[in-house]
Amino acid sequence: MNDGRAAAFSPGFARRSLPSLFLGALAVLFIVILPFFSVTAAAAPADAPRDPVGSIYVQDDAHVLSDSTKRLIRDVNKKLEASDYKAQLMVVTADSVPSGGSIESWTISLAEKYRPGEGKKDTGLVYALAVKDHKDRLEVGYGLEDVIPDATAEQIISQGEQQYGKGNYDAGVREVVTSVGRKIAGNGGGVGHTDDESQPSFLNQVLILAIILIGGLVWFKITRSVRRGRHGGADLLLLGIPQLLSRRDDFLDDDDSFTGESVLGGGDSFRGGDSFGGDSFGGGDFGGGGASGSW
């Protein structure tokens, strides 16, 4: 019994088992983090259409905005996102309110669908303009109701309505967007970083852990190959890590129970997509604050 116990914990057994331990740890890691990816995907805001100039921040279905105004909207959003509030403003124009509904129901439906604004702060805004209905509304997220109360929202949109009465929709939207940016920046919303940003997010920490585990496995395989005399330092430079990793006899001993295919699901991998320079809404919530108007 003692001999069997000694053999079980011999250096040879440890060398044979170490790759399996690494792969086992990676498998557990993926099992743990996959639910978080699923929850995040389920709770993520809908991906807004991408205007070629204004990105996700502009939906100009009424075709009343110039490219310069669309760029202004995106530029203002970049400044708002860099502020302490992490605010976001979505501008939507249409000929009429869809389905003959109210301007209020339309705007809140846009806010709830796309959810602009930092999720933890609820600092989103949606400005909707129905040109032929002569109606507009500024919807304000929970986290900005103290900065832009209903009375202030009414003052902001009235500046645009003065231009709309003259048929200057492009100029009116510029007035509204500029006023929103100034109001937030003038209430302690200067560019800065919160304490939350100084700490790595949970997914970043998981990614770092995965890199460490994979790096450890690569290091083990290299040192094991060199120790067995299969490759020297110059060989590693010539062959490269990918070719070294492709050798199954270097990867696992015949009696190992884990395989790369079983752990990684047959070679599937996570892939990122293009997001128009990283533009995305943050998942803010809304409670009906804001103001509606007409001209």
CA 90 – CA 54 distance, rounded (Å): 10
- For the chain, residues classed under CATH 3.10.310.50 are 58-190
For residue 271, give both structure tokens. 């892939």
How would you write the pLDDT of the chain (295 residues) with one tens digit per residue?
555 555 555 555 555 555 555 566 666 665 655 555 444 444 566 778 899 999 999 999 999 999 999 999 999 999 999 999 999 999 999 999 998 899 999 999 999 999 999 989 999 999 999 999 999 999 999 999 999 999 999 999 999 999 999 999 999 999 999 999 999 987 755 544 333 443 444 566 667 777 777 766 666 666 666 566 655 555 554 455 555 455 544 444 444 433 333 323 333 322 233 345 578 898 899 988 999 999 9
Q: Compute, in degrees rounded to 10, the torsion defined by CA atoms 47, 45, 280, 282.
A: 170
CA 83 – CA 76 distance, rounded (Å): 11
Strands 88-94 and 58-60: parallel
CATH 3.10.310.50 fits 58-190, yes or no: yes
Neighbours of 185 (CB within 10 A): 18
Residue 50, C-beta contacts closer than 8 angstroms, at least 6 positions apart: 56, 276, 279
Closest CA to 92 of 130, 133, 45: 130
Q: According to the model, what pLDDT value does residue 106 have?
A: 97
Q: Are 121 and 85 in contact (CB under 8 A)?
A: yes
